[in-house]
Amino acid sequence: MAEVAAPVRLGRLLPVLGVANAVMFALYAGVGVLLGLNVEQLDPAGKVSSLGLISGIGAVFATVFNPVGGALSDRTRSRFGRRVPWMIGGSVAALGAMALMAGARSLFALAVGWCLGQATMNLFQAALTAIVPDRVPEDRRGTASAVLGIMLSLGSVIGTLLAARFAANIPLGYLVFGALVVGAAVLASVFTRDSGSVEERRERPRFLSAMRHRDFMWVFIGRTLMVLGYFMVLSFLLYILKDYIGLPPGLKPADAVARITLISTACSIVATLIGGPLSDKLNRRKAFVTVAGVVAALALLIPLLAPSWGLVMVFAVIHGSAFGLYFAVDIALATLVLPNPEDAARDLGVLNVAAAGPQIAAPFVASAVIQIGGGYAPLFGVAVVVCLAGALAVLPIRSVR
Protein backbone atom coordinates (compact mmCIF):
# COMPACT_ATOMS: atom_id res chain seq x y z
CA MET A 1 0.00 0.00 0.00
CA ALA A 2 1.04 3.58 -0.56
CA GLU A 3 2.39 5.38 2.40
CA VAL A 4 0.75 8.76 2.73
CA ALA A 5 2.68 11.36 4.62
CA ALA A 6 1.33 12.39 7.98
CA PRO A 7 -0.31 15.79 8.24
CA VAL A 8 2.03 18.63 9.07
CA ARG A 9 1.55 22.02 10.65
CA LEU A 10 -0.70 24.03 8.37
CA GLY A 11 0.95 27.29 9.44
CA ARG A 12 3.90 26.48 7.19
CA LEU A 13 2.32 24.24 4.59
CA LEU A 14 -0.64 26.36 3.51
CA PRO A 15 1.30 29.57 2.73
CA VAL A 16 3.69 27.60 0.54
CA LEU A 17 0.85 25.81 -1.26
CA GLY A 18 -0.93 29.12 -1.58
CA VAL A 19 2.00 30.83 -3.29
CA ALA A 20 2.52 27.90 -5.66
CA ASN A 21 -1.17 27.84 -6.60
CA ALA A 22 -1.21 31.62 -7.05
CA VAL A 23 1.72 31.47 -9.47
CA MET A 24 0.14 28.58 -11.36
CA PHE A 25 -3.12 30.44 -11.89
CA ALA A 26 -1.25 33.64 -12.67
CA LEU A 27 0.24 31.82 -15.65
CA TYR A 28 -3.13 30.44 -16.75
CA ALA A 29 -4.83 33.84 -16.51
CA GLY A 30 -1.94 35.94 -17.77
CA VAL A 31 -1.03 33.75 -20.70
CA GLY A 32 -4.74 33.60 -21.54
CA VAL A 33 -4.76 37.39 -21.97
CA LEU A 34 -1.47 37.40 -23.87
CA LEU A 35 -2.73 34.61 -26.09
CA GLY A 36 -5.81 36.63 -27.02
CA LEU A 37 -3.66 39.66 -27.88
CA ASN A 38 -1.21 37.47 -29.79
CA VAL A 39 -3.99 35.85 -31.84
CA GLU A 40 -5.48 39.26 -32.63
CA GLN A 41 -2.08 40.39 -33.94
CA LEU A 42 -1.69 37.34 -36.18
CA ASP A 43 -5.31 37.04 -37.36
CA PRO A 44 -7.35 40.22 -36.75
CA ALA A 45 -10.30 39.20 -38.92
CA GLY A 46 -10.65 35.65 -37.63
CA LYS A 47 -9.61 36.20 -34.00
CA VAL A 48 -12.78 34.70 -32.46
CA SER A 49 -12.60 31.38 -34.28
CA SER A 50 -8.78 31.22 -34.10
CA LEU A 51 -8.69 31.83 -30.35
CA GLY A 52 -11.46 29.30 -29.84
CA LEU A 53 -9.58 26.67 -31.84
CA ILE A 54 -6.22 27.22 -30.11
CA SER A 55 -7.79 27.33 -26.63
CA GLY A 56 -9.85 24.23 -27.31
CA ILE A 57 -7.00 22.14 -28.68
CA GLY A 58 -4.76 23.26 -25.83
CA ALA A 59 -7.38 22.18 -23.33
CA VAL A 60 -7.35 18.67 -24.84
CA PHE A 61 -3.75 18.37 -23.70
CA ALA A 62 -4.66 19.70 -20.25
CA THR A 63 -7.46 17.15 -19.95
CA VAL A 64 -5.24 14.22 -20.86
CA PHE A 65 -2.10 15.15 -18.96
CA ASN A 66 -3.68 16.06 -15.62
CA PRO A 67 -4.96 12.59 -14.68
CA VAL A 68 -1.98 10.91 -16.36
CA GLY A 69 0.40 13.10 -14.38
CA GLY A 70 -1.53 12.35 -11.21
CA ALA A 71 -1.36 8.62 -11.75
CA LEU A 72 2.36 8.79 -12.46
CA SER A 73 3.08 10.83 -9.34
CA ASP A 74 1.06 8.39 -7.23
CA ARG A 75 3.40 5.60 -8.39
CA THR A 76 6.68 7.49 -8.36
CA ARG A 77 9.50 6.26 -6.11
CA SER A 78 12.03 8.94 -5.30
CA ARG A 79 14.19 10.10 -2.44
CA PHE A 80 12.44 13.43 -2.85
CA GLY A 81 8.91 12.01 -2.58
CA ARG A 82 6.15 11.23 -5.03
CA ARG A 83 5.20 14.77 -5.99
CA VAL A 84 8.49 16.67 -6.20
CA PRO A 85 9.87 15.17 -9.46
CA TRP A 86 6.68 16.04 -11.31
CA MET A 87 6.43 19.55 -9.89
CA ILE A 88 10.02 20.36 -10.85
CA GLY A 89 9.97 18.53 -14.17
CA GLY A 90 6.59 19.93 -15.18
CA SER A 91 7.55 23.51 -14.35
CA VAL A 92 10.86 23.39 -16.23
CA ALA A 93 9.13 21.90 -19.26
CA ALA A 94 6.44 24.59 -19.01
CA LEU A 95 9.15 27.27 -19.18
CA GLY A 96 10.37 25.62 -22.37
CA ALA A 97 6.84 25.74 -23.80
CA MET A 98 6.58 29.43 -22.94
CA ALA A 99 9.84 29.98 -24.81
CA LEU A 100 8.30 28.32 -27.87
CA MET A 101 5.28 30.63 -27.65
CA ALA A 102 7.58 33.62 -27.29
CA GLY A 103 9.24 32.75 -30.58
CA ALA A 104 6.03 31.88 -32.46
CA ARG A 105 5.45 33.78 -35.68
CA SER A 106 2.35 31.93 -36.86
CA LEU A 107 -0.93 30.64 -35.42
CA PHE A 108 0.30 27.07 -35.88
CA ALA A 109 3.49 27.66 -33.90
CA LEU A 110 1.52 29.51 -31.21
CA ALA A 111 -0.91 26.59 -30.96
CA VAL A 112 1.92 24.06 -30.64
CA GLY A 113 3.51 26.07 -27.85
CA TRP A 114 0.25 26.45 -25.93
CA CYS A 115 -0.56 22.73 -26.29
CA LEU A 116 2.83 21.88 -24.80
CA GLY A 117 2.30 24.52 -22.14
CA GLN A 118 -1.03 23.02 -21.12
CA ALA A 119 0.43 19.53 -21.04
CA THR A 120 3.45 20.40 -18.91
CA MET A 121 1.57 22.75 -16.58
CA ASN A 122 -0.92 20.00 -15.86
CA LEU A 123 1.86 17.60 -14.90
CA PHE A 124 2.89 20.25 -12.38
CA GLN A 125 -0.71 20.93 -11.28
CA ALA A 126 -1.59 17.27 -10.75
CA ALA A 127 1.27 16.78 -8.30
CA LEU A 128 0.68 20.10 -6.53
CA THR A 129 -3.06 19.52 -6.09
CA ALA A 130 -2.51 16.12 -4.48
CA ILE A 131 -0.62 17.65 -1.55
CA VAL A 132 -3.89 18.74 0.10
CA PRO A 133 -5.32 15.22 0.59
CA ASP A 134 -1.78 13.97 1.30
CA ARG A 135 -1.08 16.36 4.15
CA VAL A 136 -4.21 18.22 5.33
CA PRO A 137 -6.62 16.60 7.87
CA GLU A 138 -10.24 16.28 6.74
CA ASP A 139 -11.56 18.66 9.39
CA ARG A 140 -9.29 21.42 8.05
CA ARG A 141 -10.05 20.96 4.36
CA GLY A 142 -12.42 23.93 4.27
CA THR A 143 -9.77 26.24 5.69
CA ALA A 144 -7.17 24.83 3.31
CA SER A 145 -9.55 25.23 0.40
CA ALA A 146 -10.26 28.80 1.43
CA VAL A 147 -6.55 29.62 1.40
CA LEU A 148 -6.11 28.00 -2.01
CA GLY A 149 -9.25 29.71 -3.30
CA ILE A 150 -7.93 33.09 -2.21
CA MET A 151 -4.58 32.45 -3.82
CA LEU A 152 -6.30 31.25 -6.98
CA SER A 153 -8.10 34.58 -7.14
CA LEU A 154 -4.97 36.56 -6.32
CA GLY A 155 -3.02 34.59 -8.89
CA SER A 156 -5.62 35.34 -11.54
CA VAL A 157 -5.59 39.07 -10.90
CA ILE A 158 -1.80 39.20 -10.67
CA GLY A 159 -1.62 37.30 -13.94
CA THR A 160 -3.98 39.64 -15.75
CA LEU A 161 -2.26 42.72 -14.32
CA LEU A 162 1.14 41.40 -15.41
CA ALA A 163 -0.25 40.51 -18.82
CA ALA A 164 -1.54 44.06 -19.25
CA ARG A 165 1.96 45.35 -18.50
CA PHE A 166 3.43 43.01 -21.13
CA ALA A 167 0.83 43.80 -23.78
CA ALA A 168 3.50 45.69 -25.73
CA ASN A 169 6.06 42.87 -25.32
CA ILE A 170 4.14 39.61 -25.43
CA PRO A 171 7.18 37.28 -25.85
CA LEU A 172 8.80 38.60 -22.68
CA GLY A 173 5.52 38.14 -20.84
CA TYR A 174 5.43 34.45 -21.74
CA LEU A 175 8.97 33.95 -20.44
CA VAL A 176 8.31 35.79 -17.17
CA PHE A 177 5.28 33.61 -16.39
CA GLY A 178 7.26 30.45 -17.15
CA ALA A 179 10.14 31.50 -14.90
CA LEU A 180 7.75 32.29 -12.04
CA VAL A 181 6.32 28.77 -12.20
CA VAL A 182 9.79 27.25 -11.94
CA GLY A 183 10.44 29.34 -8.83
CA ALA A 184 7.11 28.28 -7.31
CA ALA A 185 7.87 24.61 -8.00
CA VAL A 186 11.21 24.85 -6.19
CA LEU A 187 9.56 26.56 -3.21
CA ALA A 188 6.78 23.96 -3.00
CA SER A 189 9.22 21.09 -3.37
CA VAL A 190 11.37 22.26 -0.47
CA PHE A 191 8.48 22.50 1.99
CA THR A 192 6.10 19.70 0.90
CA ARG A 193 8.33 16.65 0.58
CA ASP A 194 6.51 13.41 1.36
CA SER A 195 7.85 9.95 2.12
CA GLY A 196 7.95 8.75 -1.46
CA SER A 197 7.42 5.17 -0.31
CA VAL A 198 5.12 3.43 -2.75
CA GLU A 199 4.78 -0.31 -3.12
CA GLU A 200 3.31 -2.01 -6.14
CA ARG A 201 -0.19 -3.37 -5.71
CA ARG A 202 -1.14 -6.83 -6.86
CA GLU A 203 -4.26 -5.37 -8.43
CA ARG A 204 -4.36 -1.80 -9.59
CA PRO A 205 -7.76 -0.20 -9.96
CA ARG A 206 -8.72 0.93 -13.42
CA PHE A 207 -7.79 4.44 -14.39
CA LEU A 208 -11.34 5.79 -14.27
CA SER A 209 -12.61 3.45 -11.54
CA ALA A 210 -13.39 6.41 -9.27
CA MET A 211 -16.23 7.37 -11.62
CA ARG A 212 -18.12 4.31 -10.37
CA HIS A 213 -18.46 6.02 -7.00
CA ARG A 214 -21.74 7.91 -6.98
CA ASP A 215 -20.69 10.98 -4.99
CA PHE A 216 -17.44 11.33 -6.92
CA MET A 217 -19.46 11.26 -10.15
CA TRP A 218 -21.82 14.05 -9.00
CA VAL A 219 -18.90 16.29 -7.98
CA PHE A 220 -17.42 15.63 -11.42
CA ILE A 221 -20.66 16.54 -13.19
CA GLY A 222 -21.22 19.68 -11.12
CA ARG A 223 -17.70 20.97 -11.64
CA THR A 224 -17.84 20.19 -15.36
CA LEU A 225 -20.96 22.27 -15.89
CA MET A 226 -19.84 25.17 -13.70
CA VAL A 227 -16.46 25.42 -15.41
CA LEU A 228 -18.07 25.11 -18.84
CA GLY A 229 -20.38 28.04 -18.15
CA TYR A 230 -17.54 30.05 -16.62
CA PHE A 231 -15.12 29.57 -19.51
CA MET A 232 -17.74 30.18 -22.16
CA VAL A 233 -17.66 33.79 -21.00
CA LEU A 234 -14.08 34.04 -19.75
CA SER A 235 -12.57 32.71 -22.99
CA PHE A 236 -13.89 35.76 -24.84
CA LEU A 237 -13.82 38.36 -22.05
CA LEU A 238 -11.27 40.50 -23.90
CA TYR A 239 -13.48 40.65 -26.98
CA ILE A 240 -16.72 40.97 -24.96
CA LEU A 241 -15.46 44.09 -23.23
CA LYS A 242 -14.16 45.56 -26.45
CA ASP A 243 -16.94 44.66 -28.89
CA TYR A 244 -20.09 44.14 -26.75
CA ILE A 245 -19.92 46.11 -23.52
CA GLY A 246 -18.07 49.14 -24.84
CA LEU A 247 -15.26 50.75 -22.88
CA PRO A 248 -14.83 54.29 -21.56
CA PRO A 249 -12.62 56.51 -23.75
CA GLY A 250 -8.94 55.87 -23.19
CA LEU A 251 -9.38 52.49 -21.47
CA LYS A 252 -7.55 49.74 -23.34
CA PRO A 253 -9.17 46.27 -23.53
CA ALA A 254 -6.29 44.54 -21.70
CA ASP A 255 -6.47 47.13 -18.91
CA ALA A 256 -10.25 46.67 -18.75
CA VAL A 257 -9.79 42.93 -18.25
CA ALA A 258 -7.30 43.63 -15.48
CA ARG A 259 -9.66 46.08 -13.78
CA ILE A 260 -12.62 43.69 -13.87
CA THR A 261 -10.40 40.89 -12.60
CA LEU A 262 -9.16 43.05 -9.73
CA ILE A 263 -12.69 43.89 -8.60
CA SER A 264 -13.80 40.28 -8.92
CA THR A 265 -10.77 39.02 -7.03
CA ALA A 266 -11.15 41.42 -4.12
CA CYS A 267 -14.76 40.32 -3.62
CA SER A 268 -13.81 36.67 -4.06
CA ILE A 269 -11.19 36.91 -1.32
CA VAL A 270 -13.65 38.39 1.18
CA ALA A 271 -16.26 35.71 0.43
CA THR A 272 -13.68 32.93 0.61
CA LEU A 273 -12.22 34.14 3.91
CA ILE A 274 -15.68 33.91 5.45
CA GLY A 275 -17.07 30.86 3.68
CA GLY A 276 -14.16 28.41 3.80
CA PRO A 277 -13.58 28.36 7.58
CA LEU A 278 -17.35 28.62 8.17
CA SER A 279 -17.88 25.47 6.12
CA ASP A 280 -15.38 23.75 8.46
CA LYS A 281 -17.15 25.03 11.56
CA LEU A 282 -20.60 24.02 10.36
CA ASN A 283 -19.32 20.87 8.65
CA ARG A 284 -21.39 21.78 5.61
CA ARG A 285 -20.11 21.73 2.06
CA LYS A 286 -23.07 21.12 -0.27
CA ALA A 287 -25.11 24.11 0.90
CA PHE A 288 -22.21 26.49 0.33
CA VAL A 289 -21.45 25.06 -3.10
CA THR A 290 -25.09 25.08 -4.22
CA VAL A 291 -25.99 28.59 -3.06
CA ALA A 292 -22.75 30.09 -4.36
CA GLY A 293 -23.20 28.37 -7.72
CA VAL A 294 -26.79 29.58 -8.11
CA VAL A 295 -25.83 33.19 -7.30
CA ALA A 296 -22.90 33.03 -9.72
CA ALA A 297 -25.21 31.74 -12.47
CA LEU A 298 -27.86 34.41 -11.90
CA ALA A 299 -25.19 37.14 -11.90
CA LEU A 300 -24.58 36.35 -15.57
CA LEU A 301 -27.98 37.89 -16.30
CA ILE A 302 -26.58 41.35 -15.59
CA PRO A 303 -24.42 41.67 -18.74
CA LEU A 304 -27.21 39.99 -20.71
CA LEU A 305 -29.94 42.42 -19.65
CA ALA A 306 -27.85 45.56 -19.14
CA PRO A 307 -24.56 45.57 -21.10
CA SER A 308 -22.85 48.69 -19.79
CA TRP A 309 -19.41 49.30 -18.29
CA GLY A 310 -20.84 50.45 -14.96
CA LEU A 311 -23.08 47.41 -14.50
CA VAL A 312 -20.32 45.09 -15.63
CA MET A 313 -18.41 46.21 -12.54
CA VAL A 314 -21.50 45.38 -10.44
CA PHE A 315 -21.52 42.00 -12.14
CA ALA A 316 -17.85 41.55 -11.21
CA VAL A 317 -18.66 42.16 -7.54
CA ILE A 318 -21.51 39.64 -7.36
CA HIS A 319 -20.07 37.04 -9.68
CA GLY A 320 -16.60 37.25 -8.14
CA SER A 321 -17.94 36.76 -4.63
CA ALA A 322 -20.14 33.82 -5.57
CA PHE A 323 -17.71 32.05 -7.86
CA GLY A 324 -14.80 32.50 -5.48
CA LEU A 325 -16.79 30.93 -2.67
CA TYR A 326 -17.99 28.14 -4.97
CA PHE A 327 -14.52 27.08 -6.04
CA ALA A 328 -13.06 27.39 -2.56
CA VAL A 329 -15.58 25.04 -0.93
CA ASP A 330 -15.79 22.81 -4.01
CA ILE A 331 -12.10 22.00 -3.55
CA ALA A 332 -12.85 20.77 -0.03
CA LEU A 333 -15.86 18.82 -1.26
CA ALA A 334 -13.77 17.14 -3.95
CA THR A 335 -11.11 15.96 -1.50
CA LEU A 336 -13.80 14.45 0.76
CA VAL A 337 -15.33 12.21 -1.92
CA LEU A 338 -12.07 10.59 -3.07
CA PRO A 339 -12.58 6.79 -3.09
CA ASN A 340 -9.02 5.95 -2.00
CA PRO A 341 -6.40 8.33 -0.52
CA GLU A 342 -3.62 6.15 -1.97
CA ASP A 343 -4.74 7.22 -5.42
CA ALA A 344 -5.33 10.86 -4.48
CA ALA A 345 -3.33 12.44 -7.30
CA ARG A 346 -4.82 10.16 -9.94
CA ASP A 347 -8.41 10.68 -8.81
CA LEU A 348 -7.94 14.41 -8.33
CA GLY A 349 -6.47 14.37 -11.82
CA VAL A 350 -9.68 12.75 -13.04
CA LEU A 351 -11.65 15.44 -11.20
CA ASN A 352 -9.44 18.06 -12.76
CA VAL A 353 -10.63 16.77 -16.11
CA ALA A 354 -13.90 18.39 -15.05
CA ALA A 355 -11.97 21.67 -14.97
CA ALA A 356 -9.80 21.14 -18.04
CA GLY A 357 -12.30 19.20 -20.17
CA PRO A 358 -14.89 21.97 -20.37
CA GLN A 359 -12.14 24.29 -21.54
CA ILE A 360 -12.03 22.12 -24.66
CA ALA A 361 -15.72 22.56 -25.32
CA ALA A 362 -16.14 26.11 -24.01
CA PRO A 363 -14.31 28.01 -26.78
CA PHE A 364 -16.02 25.97 -29.52
CA VAL A 365 -19.47 26.24 -27.91
CA ALA A 366 -19.02 29.93 -27.18
CA SER A 367 -17.74 30.65 -30.67
CA ALA A 368 -20.73 28.81 -32.18
CA VAL A 369 -23.22 30.62 -29.93
CA ILE A 370 -21.68 34.01 -30.79
CA GLN A 371 -21.72 33.35 -34.51
CA ILE A 372 -25.12 31.62 -34.69
CA GLY A 373 -26.75 34.01 -32.22
CA GLY A 374 -25.32 37.05 -33.96
CA GLY A 375 -23.45 38.47 -30.99
CA TYR A 376 -22.37 38.04 -27.40
CA ALA A 377 -25.77 38.42 -25.66
CA PRO A 378 -26.93 34.83 -26.31
CA LEU A 379 -23.65 33.61 -24.83
CA PHE A 380 -24.64 34.90 -21.39
CA GLY A 381 -28.07 33.25 -21.60
CA VAL A 382 -26.60 29.84 -22.38
CA ALA A 383 -23.98 30.25 -19.64
CA VAL A 384 -26.71 30.96 -17.06
CA VAL A 385 -28.49 27.68 -17.82
CA VAL A 386 -25.28 25.64 -17.79
CA CYS A 387 -24.07 27.11 -14.47
CA LEU A 388 -27.45 26.61 -12.79
CA ALA A 389 -27.37 22.93 -13.74
CA GLY A 390 -23.84 22.66 -12.33
CA ALA A 391 -24.80 24.32 -9.05
CA LEU A 392 -27.68 21.90 -8.48
CA ALA A 393 -25.71 18.80 -9.48
CA VAL A 394 -24.12 18.39 -6.01
CA LEU A 395 -27.45 17.98 -4.23
CA PRO A 396 -27.61 14.16 -4.70
CA ILE A 397 -24.27 13.70 -2.87
CA ARG A 398 -24.78 11.59 0.27
CA SER A 399 -21.42 11.09 1.97
CA VAL A 400 -20.77 14.80 2.61
CA ARG A 401 -23.19 17.24 4.22
Residue 238 makes CB contacts below 8 A (sequence gap 6+) with: 33, 36, 37, 253, 254, 257
CA distance 87 to 125: 7
Return the pLDDT at 379: 93
Domains of the chain, residue spans: 10-194+209-392
On whether the CB atoms of residues 166 and 156 are closer than 8 A, the answer is no
Tell me how far apart the alpha carbons of residues 33 and 133 are, in angstroms, rounded to a whole number: 32
CA distance 270 to 294: 18
- C-alpha 335/C-alpha 345 separation (Å) is 10
Query: Which pLDDT belongs to residue 70?
Result: 79
Question: What residue spans of 235-308 are helical by DSSP H?
Answer: 237-240, 253-282, 286-299, 301-305
Domain topology for 10-194+209-392: Growth Hormone; Chain: A; (1.20.1250)
What phi-psi label fits residue 136: left (phi over 0), alpha (psi between -120 and 50 degrees) or beta?
A: beta
Taking Cα atoms as reference points, which of 373, 400, 390, 207 lies closest to residue 298?
390
**CA-based R_g, the chain, Å:** 20
Q: Cα(313)–Cα(303) distance, rounded to whole angstroms?
A: 10
| C-beta of residue 323 within 8 angstroms of C-beta of residue 370 | no
pLDDT at 289: 92
Write the CB contacts of 56 (distance below 8 Å, at least 6 apart in sequence): 359, 360, 361, 362, 363, 364
pLDDT at 146: 78
Confirm if 226 and 391 have CB atoms less than 8 A apart: yes
User: Exposed, middle or buried: residue 378 (CB in 10 Å: 0-12, 13-18, 19+)?
Assistant: middle
Q: Contact 228/362 with Cβ under 8 angstroms?
A: yes
Contact 391, 293 (CB under 8 A): yes
Residue count of the chain, please give it: 401
In this prediction, residue 178 carries a pLDDT of: 96
What's residue 63's pLDDT? 80
pLDDT at position 345 is 67
How wide is the angle at C-alpha 129 spanned by C-alphas 125 and 131, nearest 5°? 130
Per-residue pLDDT of the chain (401 residues; tens, 9 = 90+): 344 444 456 667 888 888 999 999 999 989 988 999 999 999 998 887 888 789 878 878 888 888 888 778 877 776 777 888 889 999 999 999 999 999 999 999 999 999 999 999 989 998 888 888 777 777 777 778 778 777 877 888 789 889 989 989 999 999 999 999 999 999 988 877 654 444 444 445 555 666 778 888 898 899 899 989 988 888 788 888 888 988 888 888 878 888 887 888 889 888 888 887 888 888 888 889 999 999 999 999 999 898 889 899 999 999 989 988 887 788 788 878 877 766 766 777 777 777 767 767 787 888 889 888 888 899 999 999 999 999 999 999 988 87
CA end-to-end distance (rounded Å), the chain: 29
